[in-house]
Amino acid sequence: MWDTDHGDPQHRAPRSGQVRDPRALEPVVNVACALAAQSSALGFNRAQLYWAWCELGRSRRGRARVRAIFAKGLLASLDLSEPRYTSAVPTEPPSPEPEPPPTLSERLEDVCSIDAIINAVYESVSFTGEGPDAARLRSLVAAEVRLQKVVEGGNTLVGDIDSYLAGVQKQVEDGVLLGFQERELFRRTEVYGGIAQVFTTYEASVSTINGDRTVRGINSVQLRNDGRRWWVLSILWTDEEEGEPLPAAYLPRC
């Protein structure tokens, strides 16, 4: 911006030795504009830049003074002891890549058929002492699996594979649950395409600090086949209750 005290240079009378054709100053003006954009780095203030602009139109001696001033300011802005540049190489080592989740070691013989995966579920939840076979059970179920138990009164306890295993393991570590053996009594399977619904009747022997007991019930298992193997999507189960025995249709025939 031009200061109003100095008037408009385009309408002032040219002095002796002043360049009359503005086009002759264009290369120098361009350099001055580029330097003005970096005035803070070169150590110039607005007053010095304005004075330099006025001197550009004067004699050859005046233009030489302007060049000398710009050169002085440029040298003052340079730190010759340390180059001013930003290295493309990061100063700190990059953060390590997060480790991929562990790959579940599936057993192909466990997931190649509906019969195989149902049997594997029963075997992996059964244990004596140390708890269920968590790795094997995880390899049978989908990541989004839902495990739900219908309890007395029709309420439902909903969980996933993590909450199920954590709950059982806590009872084992607390010394409350000593063992759990579950076996299949009967099965009814419906299949269409790559989906399956299995009603499987169970009998479980539960060993606790308070003694042993036997319970029966029904697991309702939903599965899908991805073209390579079967996956358990959900298990909904309920224990047989007093006064509401299991239907004969879901018990083995003598």
Q: Checking phi first, is residue 216 left (phi over 0); if not, alpha (psi -120 to 50) or beta?
A: beta
Q: Residue 1's pLDDT is what?
A: 38
Please tell me the distance from the alpha carbon of residue 219 to that of residue 195, in angstroms, as a whole number.
Answer: 17
Question: What confidence category does residue 202 fall into, taking pLDDT thresholds of 50, 70 and 90?
Answer: very high
What stretches of 38-187 show up as alpha helix (H) in DSSP?
A: 39-42, 46-56, 60-77, 108-111, 114-125, 134-140, 161-173
Q: What is the pLDDT of residues 96-121, one digit of tens each?
A: 665 544 445 678 999 999 999 999 99
- Pairing outcome for strands 156-159 and 230-239: unpaired
State mean pLDDT over 53-66.
60
Judge contact between 146 and 234, C-beta under 8 A: yes
Of 107 and 203, more confident: 203
Q: Residue 80's pLDDT is what?
A: 46
Judge contact between 128 and 181, C-beta under 8 A: yes
| φ, ψ for residue 230, nearest 5 deg | -95, 145
Judge contact between 205 and 198, C-beta under 8 A: no
Judge contact between 117 and 107, C-beta under 8 A: no
Judge contact between 202 and 186, C-beta under 8 A: no
Of 54 and 204, more confident: 204
Q: Residue 154's pLDDT is what?
A: 82
Query: Which strands form 156-159's sheet, in the order they lie side by side?
Result: 127-128, 177-192, 195-208, 211-225, 230-239, 141-150, 156-159
Question: What confidence category does residue 89 fall into, taking pLDDT thresholds of 50, 70 and 90?
Answer: low
Does pLDDT of 53 surpass 80?
A: no
Q: What is the pLDDT of residues 235-251, one digit of tens each?
A: 999 999 988 999 999 99
Q: What is the pLDDT of residues 1-39, one digit of tens each?
A: 333 344 444 444 444 444 445 455 455 555 555 555 555
Instruction: Using DSSP, state whether 165 is helix, strand or coil.
Output: helix
Provide the mean pLDDT of the chain: 78
Does pLDDT of 228 surpass 80?
A: yes
Question: What confidence category does residue 220 fall into, taking pLDDT thresholds of 50, 70 and 90?
Answer: very high
Q: How many residues appear in the chain?
A: 254
Q: What is the CA radius of gyration of the chain?
A: 43
Does pLDDT of 219 surpass 90?
A: yes
Q: Residue 10's pLDDT is what?
A: 45
| φ, ψ for residue 218, nearest 5 deg | -130, 130
